[in-house]
Amino acid sequence: MPTVDVLRSLPEALPDLEAVYRDLHAHPELAYTEHRTAGIVAGRLRRDGFEVTEGIGVTGVVGVLRNGAGPTVVLRADMDALPVEEKTGLGYASTATTTDETGEVVPLMHACGHDVHVTCLLGAAHLMAASAGLWSGTLVALFQPAEEGRGGAQRMIADGLFDVTGKPDIVLGQHVFPYPAGTVGYRPGPFLAASDGFDVRLYGRGAHGSRPESGVDPVVLAASAVMRLQTIVAREVAANEQAVLTVGALHAGTKANIIADHADLSLSVRSFDRKVSARMVASVRRIIEAECAASGSPRPPEFAELFGFTPTVNDPVATERVAGGLRALLGEDAVSAIPPIMGSEDFGEFGEVSGAPSVFWALGGADPGAYAAALEAGTVDQEIPSNHSPLFAPVVRPTLTTGVSALVAAGMEWLGDGRA
């Protein structure tokens, strides 16, 4: 089996990959500042014989390995981290901080597993390059910046990505989630939700805390708006239309005895249906504007769009092809169909713009024993840290082994026999 032969030297490569992973985890970088990560990626791809293009979409890196006639297969990983303070207690935990675009000093953490994605793709690229006699076609290793709501996929595409790679025949990717390590989850059709994010400024009128009648209190206004926004999903979205609205940040004021002159909200809405998302966004605007009017705001609220992700929709035929390759390699028990996930990604942009089918799957990263115990106790949500948690820490083994193997197996479904 060609895939098994490509992976034969994975045990030998694993210690080096684990060292790369721990290094990346300890040195996270925010969107569009992934310079150190991009440098590591570019250097390793060049060592393995890829044609490397840096700086696509600011910090994106693309490696192209042309290996005779056959399809063009894109394997994608994202590189950016989050402004989260790590609390895992790991020996390689991040203690890094940076100054963000607002001038605020923030902690940094790979709280969404992008360090796993980068390491697995570097491993897959290395093994594929070392086994070029076993496959034919063009392999593209795509390392994307700024997935975390900053439009990295769109920016790479606008910066000439497909001029470098050519039109792909398939785009493949994976994301680590808090499922048991050693397992893979797939789903034909809708896999991840559409998501829209906004910053909103609500205007009040500043005053002394002893004289609320002389001001317009934006804290009370914000509180009313946050509570009323929750009625959108509860009372405006049908029971068979899955949706989530989250206010992730609320900032107002400086002192206990000062009524501030504004409050800031950051929020997101998610759904698997773009029409539902559009209705929710319209409702958000209607409710916030109405609450401002009811509070007597001196100015209308201001909305700034943060991101707008389309749903990630897996091509059904290509998904079944990938799932078959994964089962053949990992075994039936390790590969299963899963429900759609309400999280969002911009991975789908690559397939949508290029016209190529795309497949995205879930890579398990949780300790299998801890997951089994939590499942038995009915406490998975409480005991198993999820993405974006300061406690999120995929186990190194077998997460990396499975992640590298899954990328190779999926890619070889197209490259192993040259079929597009």
Output b/e per residue, 234-254; b: 16+ Cβ within 10 A: eebbeeeebbebbbeebebbe
Helix axes 218-229, 274-295, angle to 10 degrees: 150
* 110 labelled ligand-binding: no
Chain-centre distance for alpha carbon 414: 25
Which phi-psi region, left, alpha or beta, contains residue 123 (left: φ > 0; alpha: ψ -120 to 50)? alpha
Q: Give the Å distances, CA to CA, from 408 to 6, 310, 360, 378.
A: 8, 27, 14, 34
Q: How far is CA 412 from CA 135, 143, 197, 405, in A?
A: 7, 19, 37, 10
Give CA–CA dist 419/52, Å, rounded.
25
292 marked ligand binding residue: no
Q: Helices (H), strands (E): how many in the chain?
A: 14, 18
> What type of residue sits at position 94?
S
Angle, in degrees to the nearest 10, between helices 396-415 and 10-26? 120
Beta bridge partners of 307: 197
112 annotated as ligand-binding: yes
Cβ 222 vs Cβ 202: under 8 Å: yes
Strands (E), 6-128: 51-56, 60-67, 72-78, 97-99, 105-107
Give the Cα separation of 296 and 318 in Å (integer). 55
Side-chain-side CA neighbours of 104 within 13 Å: the count stands at 5
Residue 91's SS3 state is: coil
Neighbour tally for 306: CB within 10 Å? 16
85 is an annotated ligand-binding site residue: no
Sequence ranges of the binding site for Mn(2+): 112, 114, 148, 175
Q: Which residues are annotated as a binding site?
A: 112, 114, 148, 175
